[in-house]
Amino acid sequence: MPLESHQPASNETAPRGEEKLFLGIIVALAVIAGIGSWFAVIAFSHKEELRGIPPDKSRWLADFSFTDSTGGTVTRRDVEGRVLAVSFLFTSCSQTCPVVSRTMSEIQRLTANAPDVRLLSFTVDPRSDTPPALAKWGARFGADTNRWQLLTGDQGQLLNLIGTSFLAPETNNPFNSMPGNFGGTERIALVDKHGRVRVFFDGLRIETPAAAAAEIEKLRQEN
């Protein structure tokens, strides 16, 4: 009798064990599938970002006249008909600005054989960023002053140019430390030969120099 009473219990244990094993396999497969999907989304978004970020609206390079790091004057007319890579900085910035300037330095290197390409960096803090301060900054990143010009001037005119031609103010971000409160100051803008802002690239990404250089080459081939 005792043996007979234990027999049904052992018959039930085996199926339950198999069910648990089956359920465990299903859960493991679901987790693996979820991780795979997550990596797929990351890879896709990564690829999308490398295509560049479109402007928030139609933007064109406005007329300007500023002073570069050598003390010379640079105007809108001086860059007419050239493809431009444009960045924004202030020399007291110790986090994003050096990274963006390194990215610009690499774009300068990758476009060394393209005489119709110019690089411009506009300061958002002209009170501190005098020509000597910009010259020191440019030397730090190997700026060729014939091809990459760091520009300063009247603060109101600079901020107006940046707001009109490139970036929108970020009024809802209390942590924005950039003068002018512009959003996206880590971005690098590409401007075509007609002065139209075509695309932005994230200046903090290590893939940006190659992606920007490839896009610059496309813009050079346009009429």
pLDDT digits (tens, 9 = 90+) for 145-165: 999 999 999 999 999 999 999
Whether 78 shows a pLDDT value over 80: the answer reads: yes
CATH code assigned to 65-221: 3.40.30.10
User: What confidence category does residue 174 fall into, taking pLDDT thresholds of 50, 70 and 90?
Assistant: low
Which two three-digit tokens encode residue 204? 């903090």
Q: Position of tokens 């795979």?
A: 36
Give, rounded to a whole angstrom, the gap between the first and last alpha carbons of the chain.
98
Average the pLDDT over each of 40-44, 80-84, 115-119, 174-178 and give the range with the smallest value.
Answer: 40-44
CA distance 131 to 141: 15
Q: What is the pTM of this model?
A: 0.76
Res 179: pLDDT: 66
| 3-class DSSP assignment, residue 129 | coil
Res 175: pLDDT: 63
Which two three-digit tokens encode residue 52? 């560049």
Res 169: pLDDT: 85
Res 196: pLDDT: 98
Whether 183 shows a pLDDT value over 60: the answer reads: yes
Res 45: pLDDT: 39
- Chain center to CA of 129: 23
**Domain map of the chain by residue range?**
1-50, 65-221
Res 17: pLDDT: 59
pLDDT, average across residues 42-69: 79
| Crossing angle between the packed helical segments 96-110 and 208-221, to the nearest 10 degrees | 50
